[in-house]
Amino acid sequence: MGSVFEIPRGTRDFIPQDMIKRRFVEEKLRAIFESFGYKEIQTPTFEHLDLFTMKSGQAVIDELYVFIDKGGRNLALRPELTAPVIRCYVEKLQMEPKPLKLYYLGNCFRYDRPQKGRYREFMQAGCELIGPSSPEGVAELICLAFWLVKEVGVKDIVLECGHIGLLRKVLSTLSLNDEQTKRILPLIDKEQFDELSTLLSEYAIPSEQKTLFMDIMKHSRLDLLKDLFKDSKEETLQIERFEEMIHILNDIIGKDSFMLNMGIVRGLDYYTGVVFEIKAPSLGAEKQICGGGEYDLISLFGGRNTPTSGFALGFDRTLLAMEIEKAVFPSIDIDYFIIPVSKDEISSALRIALHLRKNGKIVDVDLMRRGIGKALKYAGSLHASHAMIIGSRELSDQVVSMRNMNTGEQQDVPLKTLIPDFML
């Protein structure tokens, strides 16, 4: 069961060496989102439970942390951020000029059995693009996702693009019932084509139709898709728009950077058009780090229907992939560690520290009244680049005794060269 003084099961503490990495990634992601004209938004940690069941169905309740507030409302810790952001958009931002580009970074909660790489509290980054229905809108979105992952330092990635709207249309030509559709979708998603073929035979799909369907799914043959729908204007337009999106993506990130995959299902009912996923093969089984596409939630939440697309990026998996690929993280080390030799120099040491901090330096002062040797050892454990020793002689000479912690060299440095206009 564990003691009350232990961290709750499935959650994590991030100690300083973790936080340096996390803040580094967070700041990189934020800078890239902003360079694309996206603006940050933050919503509460919990929402009305129904917000999530409206979006994802009743089954999602089993994965939610649910509680009741003083007004008797059912609340849930958010499992993802798209529903809250769209709720906020409908409540407060519908009148903003379009496109509206919103991004977020936030912790989410999933109430399942903890396992490797899956936590009950985890962080997601993501964005929503509200307004454009053009192929370049979703192309720029996919380019942003691709760039975020690449630029933080995950080099080995696979980007796949599909189209849920067209997938649904192809499926409808098979005239399957709901139960049958429900069984074949996971097989398409997991690329289990042999099982898919067996199941389609079981469902008595005519051989020619089955072969065509398998070719479209397995090889993402847009030419076959076009041929299938050549007499239907709506589907033909959808295919042309998808091809235009692919063409733009070719131009801006290069055709070797992504693959077509008409079998992307995304497991969520609210996608309507182009969908995409980014995987980092180095992560093994839990390799998907980003996914998104065109969807409709605004009208479901009572807003005026508006084209929307977006994606979510798993922060923890991205960080894990960076670590596996030996990405380099910065460190935040102490510039100066100041050691007052006796009680009489404490105030001076603290004053010098304050002035250096004001000038942008990271400075620590020994607060333990220990010997110089022990204080230097501690400064070493902090990776301080310099130690500054201040005794009565230094004070009366208006100098500090500066020790380079790497070389061990030590010399007097006048206070006024260190901090102009400062007198003790």
In angstroms, give the least distance from the CB of 191 to a copy of itself.
31
- Toward a copy of itself, which CB reaches closer, 89 or 229? 89
In angstroms, give the least distance from the CB of 334 to a copy of itself.
6
Give the phi and the psi of residue 200 in degrees, each rounded to 5. Answer: -65, -35
With 0-12 / 13-18 / 19 or more C-beta atoms within 10 angstroms meaning exposed / middle / buried, residue 307 is buried
327 binds a copy of itself (CB under 8 A): no
Binding positions for a copy of itself, 34-53, rule CB under 8 A: 34-37, 39-51
- Toward a copy of itself, which CB reaches closer, 247 or 416? 247
Binding mask 158-197 toward a copy of itself (x if CB under 8 A, else -) reads ----------------------------------------
Applying CB under 8 A, the span of 102-110, 173-181, 256-264, 406-414 interacting with a copy of itself comes to 102-110
Contact 124, 80 (CB under 8 A): yes
What secondary structure letter does DSSP report for 352?
H
Binding positions for a copy of itself, 212-271, rule CB under 8 A: 247-248, 251-252
List, in sequence order, every residue forming a beta bridge with 126; answer none if it has no partner.
Answer: 104, 312
265 Rama sector, left if φ>0, alpha if ψ -120 to 50, beta otherwise: alpha
Tokens for 73, please give them.
């409302």
In angstroms, give the least distance from the CB of 420 to a copy of itself.
18
Tell me the three state secondary structure of residue 115.
strand
Contact 47, 87 (CB under 8 A): yes
List, in sequence order, every residue forming a beta bridge with 340; answer none if it has no partner.
Answer: 390
304 binds a copy of itself (CB under 8 A): no
Residue 239 CA to its chain's centroid (Å): 30
In angstroms, give the least distance from the CB of 288 to a copy of itself.
24
Half-sphere CA count of 98, side-chain side, radius 13 A: 14
In angstroms, give the least distance from the CB of 378 to a copy of itself.
5
Please give the C-alpha separations between residue 28 and each of 312, 325, 357, in angstroms, as whole numbers: 16, 17, 25
Q: Which residue in 327, 361, 372, 413 binds a copy of itself (CB under 8 A)?
A: 361
Q: Which residue in 95, 97, 304, 417 binds a copy of itself (CB under 8 A)?
A: 97
Applying CB under 8 A, the span of 172-180, 199-207, 378-386, 392-400 interacting with a copy of itself comes to 378-386
Q: Which of 164, 144, 159, 141 lies closest to 270, judged by CA?
A: 164
Binding positions for a copy of itself, 136-165, rule CB under 8 A: 136-137, 139-140, 143, 147
In angstroms, give the least distance from the CB of 184 to a copy of itself.
32
List, in sequence order, every residue forming a beta bridge with 277; answer none if it has no partner.
Answer: 160, 291
316 binds a copy of itself (CB under 8 A): no
109 binds a copy of itself (CB under 8 A): yes
Contact 44, 149 (CB under 8 A): no
Helix or strand (DSSP H, E) at 293? strand 288-295
In angstroms, give the least distance from the CB of 209 to a copy of itself.
36
**Cα-based torsion angle of the residue sequence 215, 216, 220, 221 in order, rounded to the nearest 10 degrees:** 80
3 binds a copy of itself (CB under 8 A): yes
In angstroms, give the least distance from the CB of 8 to a copy of itself.
6
Greatest CA separation for the chain: 98
Binding mask 69-88 toward a copy of itself (x if CB under 8 A, else -) reads xxx-x-x-x---------xx
- Toward a copy of itself, which CB reaches closer, 99 or 117? 99
378 binds a copy of itself (CB under 8 A): yes
